[in-house]
Amino acid sequence: MSATVLHTEVGVSDEKQAAAKSAGRRFGALVVRLGAIAAFAAIMAYFVIFAPGFTSTFNLINVVEQSAILGVLAYGMTAVIIGGGSDVTEGGIDLSIAANMGLCAAVYATLLSMGYGDFLSVMAAIAVGMAVGALNALAVVGLGILPLLATLAVLNVAAGMELTLTQNTVVGASSPLLGVLVSGSFFGISALAWALIVFSAVMIVVVHGTSFGLRLYAVGGHPEAARAAGISVPFYVSFTYVLSGFCAAVASILTVSRLSASTPGSGELLLSVLAAALLGTVFSRRFVPTMGGTLLSVLFIGLLANGFQLLNVSSYWVNGVQGALILLVVAITSFARGSEGSR
Amino acid sequence: MSVSANDNASKASMRGFLAKYSVLIAFAAIVIFFSVASPTFLTPANLFNVLVNNVVMLAIVALGLTIVISSGGIDLSVGVSVDMASMIFVMLLAAGYSGVVGVAGGLGAALIVGILNAILITRLNISPFLATLGVLFIGQSTQQLATSGGQPIYLTSGYAADQFNAIARTALFGIPTPVIVLIVLAVVVHLLLHRSVFGRYVQAMGAQPGVAWYSGIRVPRELSMVHVLCALLAGVTGILLSATVKSYVPLSGNAFLLDAIGATFIGTTLSRERKPSVIGTLLGVLLLAIVKNGLLLVGWNFYWQQVGIGVLVFLVLAASFGLRRAAH
Amino acid sequence: MQTAKRDIAVSMTGISKRFGPVRALENANLEIARGSILGLVGQNGAGKSTIIKVLAGIIKPDSGSIVVNGETVSTLTPASVEKLGVHFIHQDRLLVPTATVGEAVFLGHEIGLGPFVSRRAMERRAADLLKRFFGMELPAGTLVKDLTTAQQKVVQITRALAQKASVLVLDEPTAALVKREVDSLFDVLRRLRDDGIAVVFISHYMQEIEKLCDRVTVMRNGTDVGTVDPRQTPIDEIIAMMIARDVGEMFPKRSVELGAPVLEVSNLRLGGSFENIGFNVRAGEIVGLTGLLGSGAKEIVQCLFGLKTADGGEVKVEGRELSLSTPVKAVRDGIAMLPEDRRAHGVALGLSVRENISLASLRRYSRTGMVSRGAENQAVDGLIKELSIKTPHRDALVRELSGGNQQKVAIAKWLSCQSRVYVLDEPTVAVDVGAKVEIYNLLNRLAGEGAAILLLSSDLLELVGVCDRVLVVYRGRLAGSFSGPAMNSDALLAASSGARSNADGVAA
C-alpha cells in the first residue's frame, strides 16, 4: 500500500485554466472599472458642453470649496471601511459621522458665542468628536456590536445631544479662525479649498505611503492574516473610529465657517458621505476603498450637484442619482465577481 | 467549545436567563419609576394615548423588520415604504377616489418598493444593506420631486378622508381600531414566522444561507417574499399615519427606522436563542414607547428623549452582543 | 538515546488538550531538531493540526511544557512565537487577497524609512526571493487574489523565508502544488536544513515523507506513537502505526443483493471540467468516485445536485430523466447531497437539531403551509434514535454537537426525505474514527434499504473499504472502474494520476 490519501497534483490544464480565469477576472474588473469611470467622464463631458460656466475657474474653485466638508467626512468613513472590511453588513461603517459633525459644530459655535476663544473651542470640538468616535470603537471592538447597529445608536445619541444643545436653532459664530477660513486666500486659492487639499494630502500619504496604512488594509482585508503577522487588529479598528470622530470635528469647523453658524440638519450629509466612500472603490485597481478614490468621488458628487444647478435641474435629483449610481456600481461589481463562477 | 459541553451549556443558559430577565427587570423598573415620578403615567387615558400614538405604527414597521432581520438581512428603506404608501394614499383621496382605491394604491406603492428591493437583492446580488440604502436615496429624491421639495399634502375635506380619520380615531368594543389592526397583523406575522414552513425557511436563511440552498429551498423566492412583506407592513403604517394626521408629510417615515431596528434587537435579547421574534419585538416597541412617554411626562423635551432612546438602544445592543460574545 | 545528542530547537512534552467532550491531545510529545527535517504524519483527527496550533500559540494546551531554544516558554502567542523564530505555513492561505505580492511577503515587517514604506523596494525584494528560491517570476504588482492556489502557497513560504525563520513548520504545503513546484520546494527545504534550520513537514503523502524527511513522528488518537527513520522503516509499517484498528474492523462488511439501476448518468459534460461521463449506480450499490484536485470528479458531483449546470448529457433517476439546474430541482427529484463543507452547507450551527433534520422535508409535516409540530417531533425523534445522534434533546443547537454527530444530523435531514440517491462529498473529513465507522455503517444500511450511493472521496482506504466499485476520473474523463481484487489503493492512485509512466508528464 503506497498511500492512504490522494496527493493532489494540479495538472497543466488546470494551471492554464487558473491563469486564464485570473486573466479573465482581471479583464472583467478592468472593464467594470473603466466602464464606471467612462460613465463619470460622460456625465462631466455633458456638463462641460451644456452647463454654462461649468469650466470657469471661479466655478471649479467654488466646487472644491463646497466639497471640503464632504471630503473630510468621507475620509473618516473611508478609513473605517478600510479597517473594518468592505462587507457592508458585517464590516466597518460609521453611520454616526454626520451627526457627530453636527454635535461638534454645535459645541464649537456655542462655546464661541459664550466667549471662549478659538483655541479652547476648537479643542473642545475635537475632544467631543473623538469621544464619540471612541464610543463607537468601544461598542464595535470592545462589545462586539455590529458596526451598522452600534453607530446607528450613537447617531441618535449625537443628534439628540446636538438638538439639546442648540434647541434646534441656528447658533451664530464668528472668530479670527473663522474669519481666515471664510475670506483668507493663499496663492489665489481660498482657505477652505486649502483645507481640503492639505487634509487630502495628509490622508493619502498616511494611508497609502506608510506601513500603518498597509497594515490597516491587511486588518480589513483578512483579519486572521493580519493577526498571524503580529498586527493588533483591535487597535487598528478602534483607531479608525476615533479618526472618523476626528474628521467629524474638523469638518464641523469647516461647516461653521462656511455658514458662519452651526445649523441643524447636518445629518443629511450622511448619505452623500456613504456614497462618496462607496463610489470611490471603482477608482481603485483592487476594488478597495482608497483615499484618492474617495477624493475623486467627492469631487464628482460636488460637480454633479453643481452641474445640475447650472442646468437648472432641481437639486432634488441629486440624491436619487447618487442612489442609482451606488446601485449601478455595486450591481456591476457583484456581476463581475459573480461571473468568476464562485457560486 | 473550550469548556466541557455540560458546563458550557449551563453557563450559557444562565447567561441567557440573565439576559432575559435583566431586560424584563429593567422594564418593570422603568414602569415603576415613571409611575412614581409622574401621576399621569399609569392612567388609562395616558396608556391609551401611548398605545395608539407611539406603539401601533412603530410596531407594524418593526414586525416587517423582524422578518427581514430573521432572514439575515436588513431593510433601510422601510421609511420609503411608509412614505410612498402615505403619499399615494393621500394623493388618491385628495383626487377624490374612494378609500378602497386609496388603500390599494398605497399598498401598491409599498409593494413596488418591496419588489425593487427584492430584485436588487436576489437578482443583482446586491447586499441588502447597499440595495436598501440605494432605494432610500432614490425614494427620498422621488418624494422631493413629487412634492416640489417636501411640501406636505393635507386632506382638507372629503368623505373618504373623514371616514378614514374617523376610523383611525375610533374604537371597536372599546379597543382602538389601529390597535385591532396591529393585533391582527402581529398574530399573522407570528404564525408566519414561527409556525409556518415559510418562517422555518426564513430562519434557515438567517442562520446559514448555504445550508438553506443545499436543502433545496428556493432561496431567491423566499428572500423576495421577505422583502415584499416588510415593505407591505411598512405601507400599512404609512396609511395609518396619513389617516391619523390627515396629511402626508414627506420624508417622515425615516423616523421609524432606528426605533424599529432598536425594538427588534431589544426583542432578540429577550428570546432564548437570541433570535428576532414577534413577541420580543412587540415588547421592544412597548419599552421604547413607555420610555419616550415617561420621559415626556417627567418633563424631558423631545431632544432629550432622542438622546435617551439612543442610549437605551445602545445599552440593549451592548447587553445583547456582549452576552453573545461571552457565551462563545 | 541518540536524540539527546541532537541540537534540539523545540521540545514539547506531555501536551494535553480537550475540546468539550473531544480529546484532541493526550500527553503528546514532539521534538524538533535543528538541521533536520521532521515528518509529522497521522490520520485526520489524530492531533497533528492541534499540536501545531499549540506551538503556534493559537490553541492554549490544558497541560504540558514547551521548550524553545533551551528556554521553557509558559505562554505562547502568535506574535511571541514569531519572535522566537518559529514560522508556520498554515493550510489555509493566510494572505490578504487585495494585497500585492510584495505587501503580502513583508506585511508586519515592511521595508521603508521610518513610518513610510517603499512599495517598490518590497516588490523588488519579494521578486528576488521568489526567483531565488522557486525560480518563479510574477508580473510586478500582482495581487494575491489573482494568483493560483499554488502561487499563494509559494508566497506564504517566501514570507517565512524573508523573516529568517529558525524553525519552519509546513502544514500540508504540497496539497495544491504541481510536481515542479513540489520539487523546487523540496530543494529549498533541503537547503534550509543544511543551513541549520529545523523543518517540520506535515503530509498525508508517504512518498514525500520518505523522500524528504530525516525522521518521522507518527500520531494517533491525540498522542505520538513513535518516531522512526522513514528511510529505514517500510511505509507499510508507518501506516500500520497510524491506523490502530485493522482495516477489516474499520470498514464493516456487508452483503447486499444489487437491484436495478437507480441513478443512470450518460454522456454528461461540463466545458472545461469533464466530458463523456457515463455510469450507473444500482439499488443497494455504493459506488466510489475519486480523482485529483482539478480532475473534474468534484464537478461531476456538483452537476448531479444542480450546483453547476452540465452542458449536456442525461441523468436519470429510476428511469425518469431529470433537468438538474438547481438544488431545488435535485432535492425534489430525490437526490440527497452531503456537502464537503459541513458548516457552510451541511448543517446550520445556529439552528436546533430538530430544525436541521426537518429542513428539507418540512412539506411532509405541514398542512396549508403551517408546520405540524407533533408530526415533526415524532419524525425527528425517530431519526435521532435510529442514527443514535448524541444530543441532549431535539431542540439543542447543532453547534453543541460533536463533528461526527453534526454529520449524522446532516444525513438525517435526507433520511427524512426518503431520498433514493445519496451523493456524498468527502463525508468523513474532520470526523473522528469512531464516528467514521458509524457513518460507514449508516451507508451500508442505506444501501441495504435499496438506496443508490455515490461516494466522492480522496481517502483511498475508505473507498476500497466501503465501495462495491470505484470510478476514477482523470483530466475530466473516466479513467477506470475498479471492483473486486483489482480495487486497491495502488491501482486507484495509478489511475488517478494518469498511470505511473506518464505521471511526471502531468506537471510541466
The pLDDT value given to residue C445 = 86
| H/E element, B15 | helix B5-37
The pLDDT value given to residue B45 = 81
Chain B residue numbers with beta carbons less than 8 Å from the beta carbon of C23 are none
Residue C291, pLDDT > 60, answer: yes
**Among A279, A284, A325, A321, residue whose Cα is nearest residue A299:** A279
Mean pLDDT estimate for chain A: 81
For residue B105, give how far its alpha carbon lies from the nearest alpha carbon of chain A (Å): 23
Query: Coil, strand or helix: which one is A115?
Result: coil
More confident residue, A24 or C39: C39
Residue A71, pLDDT > 80, answer: yes
Residue A315, pLDDT > 80, answer: no
CA distance B316 to B305: 16
**Which of B317, B324, B325, B328 best probes binding to A when mutated, by most A CB atoms within 10 angstroms?**
B317
Cβ atoms within 10 A of the Cβ of B184, count?
Answer: 10
Region B259-277: mean pLDDT is 81
Mean pLDDT estimate for chain B: 84
CA distance C191 to C174: 17
Which residue do the cell numbers 475519486 mark? C290
Residue A14, pLDDT > 50, answer: no
* CB spacing of A319 vs B140 below 8 angstroms: yes
Chain C residue numbers with beta carbons less than 8 Å from the beta carbon of A222 are 94-97
**Among B219, B271, B217, B255, residue whose Cα is nearest residue B66:** B271
Going through chain B in order, the beta strands assigned E by DSSP cover: 153-154, 171-172, 175-176, 247-248
Cβ atoms within 10 A of the Cβ of C496, count?
Answer: 25
Q: Is B151 on the interface with A (CB under 8 A)?
A: no
Q: Closest chain B residue to A95 measured between Cα atoms?
A: B258
* CB spacing of A230 vs C79 below 8 angstroms: yes
CA distance A136 to A129: 11
Chain C residue numbers with beta carbons less than 8 Å from the beta carbon of A236 are none
Helices (DSSP H) in A167-290: which residue ranges?
A: 176-183, 191-209, 211-221, 223-228, 233-259, 269-279
Confidence of residue A24 (pLDDT cuts 50, 70, 90): low
Confidence of residue B13 (pLDDT cuts 50, 70, 90): low
The pLDDT value given to residue C176 = 61
Beta strand pairing call for C86-89 and C167-171 = parallel
| Beta-bridge mates of residue C89 | C170
Residue B80, pLDDT > 90, answer: yes
C-alpha B113, offset from chain centre = 16
Q: Cβ(B319)–Cβ(B22) under 8 Å? A: yes
Q: Is A30 on the interface with C (CB under 8 A)?
A: no
The pLDDT value given to residue A37 = 77
CA distance B173 to C44: 68
The answer for residues whose C-beta is within 8 angstroms of residue C254's C-beta and 6 or more apart is C444, C447, C448
Q: Which chains touch A (3 or more CB pairs under 8 A)?
A: B, C
Chain A residue numbers with beta carbons less than 8 Å from the beta carbon of B325 are 143-144
* CB spacing of A13 vs C475 below 8 angstroms: yes
Residue A2, pLDDT > 50, answer: no
Q: Cβ(C15)–Cβ(C27) under 8 Å? A: yes
Confidence of residue B228 (pLDDT cuts 50, 70, 90): very high
Residue A68, pLDDT > 70, answer: yes
Query: Coil, strand or helix: which one is C172?
Result: coil
The pLDDT value given to residue C50 = 85
CA distance C391 to C18: 19
Confidence of residue A343 (pLDDT cuts 50, 70, 90): very low
**CA distance to A168, C132, C398, per residue, from C471 (Å):** 76, 42, 34
CA distance A237 to A144: 12
User: C23 — phi, psi (to 5°)?
Assistant: -95, 105
Task: State the Rg of chain B over Cα.
Answer: 20
Longest Cα pair distance anywhere in chain C, in angstroms? Answer: 77
The pLDDT value given to residue B21 = 66
CA distance C121 to C125: 6
Residue type, C400: E
How is residue C36 written as a grid cell?
533536520
Residue A152, pLDDT > 80, answer: yes
- Comparing CB atoms, the residue among B126, B303, B321 nearest residue A145 is B321
Q: Is A1 on the interface with C (CB under 8 A)?
A: yes
Rounded to the nearest 10°, the torsion over CA B273, B278, B282, B288 is: 50
Query: Coil, strand or helix: which one is C1?
Result: coil
Which residue do the cell numbers 422535508 mark? C361
- Comparing CB atoms, the residue among A157, A316, A335 nearest residue B145 is A316
Residue C492, pLDDT > 50, answer: yes
* CB spacing of A331 vs B120 below 8 angstroms: yes
Q: Closest chain A residue to B254 measured between Cα atoms?
A: A268
**Among C433, C498, C43, residue whose Cα is nearest residue C249:** C433
Cα angle, residue C61 at apex, residues C59 and C65 outer, rounded to 5°:
125
Torsion-angle region of residue A9: left (phi > 0), alpha (psi -120 to 50) or beta? beta
More confident residue, B4 or A267: A267
Residue A83, pLDDT > 50, answer: yes
Query: Coil, strand or helix: which one is B95?
Result: coil
Helices (DSSP H) in C306-428: which residue ranges?
A: 327-332, 353-358, 373-386, 403-415
User: pLDDT digit string (tens) for C220-243?
Assistant: 888 888 888 888 887 777 777 776
Confidence of residue B2 (pLDDT cuts 50, 70, 90): very low
CA distance A115 to A118: 9
Helices (DSSP H) in C259-326: which residue ranges?
A: 297-304
Torsion-angle region of residue A288: left (phi > 0), alpha (psi -120 to 50) or beta? beta
* CB spacing of A4 vs C96 below 8 angstroms: no
Q: Cβ(C309)–Cβ(C266) under 8 Å? A: no
User: pLDDT digit string (tens) for B46-71?
Assistant: 887 888 778 999 999 999 999 999 99
Torsion-angle region of residue A117: left (phi > 0), alpha (psi -120 to 50) or beta? beta
Q: Is A27 on the interface with B (CB under 8 A)?
A: no
* CB spacing of B134 vs A324 below 8 angstroms: yes
User: pLDDT digit string (tens) for C336-368?
Assistant: 998 888 878 888 888 999 999 999 888 888 888
User: pLDDT digit string (tens) for A181-232?
Assistant: 777 777 877 888 888 889 999 999 998 888 888 889 988 888 888 887 778 8
Chain B residue numbers with beta carbons less than 8 Å from the beta carbon of C346 are 211, 214
Residue type, B94: A
Torsion-angle region of residue C45: left (phi > 0), alpha (psi -120 to 50) or beta? left
The pLDDT value given to residue B19 = 56
Q: Closest chain C residue to A11 measured between Cα atoms?
A: C506
Q: Which chains touch B (3 or more CB pairs under 8 A)?
A: A, C
Domain ranges of chain A: 58-318
Chain C residue numbers with beta carbons less than 8 Å from the beta carbon of B216 are 327-328, 330-332, 360
B117-121, B175-179, C21-25, C76-80: the lowest-pLDDT one = C21-25
The pLDDT value given to residue A189 = 76
Query: Coil, strand or helix: which one is A160?
Result: helix
More confident residue, C176 or B54: B54
Share of chain C above pLDDT 90, in %: 9
The pLDDT value given to residue C444 = 87
Residue B3, pLDDT > 70, answer: no
ipTM attached to this prediction: 0.81
**Among A152, A149, A158, residue whose Cα is nearest residue A102:** A158
**Among B263, B257, B276, B282, residue whose Cα is nearest residue B199:** B276
Q: What is the number of alpha carbons within 13 Å of residue C80 lying toward its C-beta?
A: 10
Share of chain C above pLDDT 70, in %: 90
The answer for residues whose C-beta is within 8 angstroms of residue A127's C-beta and 6 or more apart is none
Region B91-106: mean pLDDT is 88
Chain C residue numbers with beta carbons less than 8 Å from the beta carbon of B201 are 362
Chain A residue numbers with beta carbons less than 8 Å from the beta carbon of C110 are 211, 214
* CB spacing of A143 vs B321 below 8 angstroms: yes
Q: Cβ(A189)–Cβ(A170) under 8 Å? A: no
Query: Coil, strand or helix: which one is C257?
Result: coil
Q: Is B133 on the interface with A (CB under 8 A)?
A: yes
- Comparing CB atoms, the residue among B131, B314, B325 nearest residue A157 is B314
The pLDDT value given to residue C1 = 40
The pLDDT value given to residue C248 = 52
Q: Cβ(C225)–Cβ(C219) under 8 Å? A: yes
Task: State the Rg of chain C over Cα.
Answer: 25
For residue B234, give how far its alpha carbon lies from the nearest alpha carbon of chain A (Å): 20
Cα angle, residue A125 at apex, residues A256 and A253 outer, rounded to 5°:
25
| H/E element, C242 | helix C235-242
Residue B167, pLDDT > 80, answer: no
Chain B residue numbers with beta carbons less than 8 Å from the beta carbon of A149 are 261, 265, 317
**Which of C98, C212, C311 best probes binding to A when mutated, by most A CB atoms within 10 angstroms?**
C98
Region C245-266: mean pLDDT is 74
Confidence of residue C94 (pLDDT cuts 50, 70, 90): confident
Q: Is A312 on the interface with C (CB under 8 A)?
A: no
Region C163-170: mean pLDDT is 85
Residue B94, pLDDT > 80, answer: yes
Q: Is the dihedral of CA B226, B229, B231, B234 positive or negative?
A: negative
How is residue C472 written as a grid cell?
476514477
* Surface of A (213-232) touching C: CB under 8 A: 213-215, 217-218, 221-222, 224-231
Chain A residue numbers with beta carbons less than 8 Å from the beta carbon of C207 are 2-3, 7
CA distance B272 to B15: 10
The CATH number that domain A58-318 falls under is 1.10.3470
The answer for residues whose C-beta is within 8 angstroms of residue B158's C-beta and 6 or more apart is B93, B94, B96
Q: Is B214 on the interface with A (CB under 8 A)?
A: no
Q: Is B127 on the interface with C (CB under 8 A)?
A: no
User: pLDDT digit string (tens) for B187-209?
Assistant: 999 999 999 999 999 999 988 88
DSSP C57: T
Confidence of residue C440 (pLDDT cuts 50, 70, 90): confident
Region B242-260: mean pLDDT is 85
Chain A residue numbers with beta carbons less than 8 Å from the beta carbon of B311 are 157
User: pLDDT digit string (tens) for C311-341?
Assistant: 888 899 888 888 888 888 888 888 999 888 8
For residue C367, give how far its alpha carbon lies from the nearest alpha carbon of chain B (Å): 9
Residue A74, pLDDT > 90, answer: yes
Cα angle, residue C432 at apex, residues C404 and C11 outer, rounded to 5°:
140
Q: Is C51 exposed, middle or buried (0-12, 13-18, 19+ CB in 10 A)?
A: buried
Domains of chain C, each with CATH number or no CATH: 2-245 (3.40.50.300), 246-334+420-500 (3.40.50.300), 344-418 (no CATH)
CA distance B109 to B86: 9
CA distance C450 to C448: 5
DSSP B98: -
Chain A residue numbers with beta carbons less than 8 Å from the beta carbon of C488 are 1
CA distance C47 to C50: 5
CA distance B120 to B73: 13
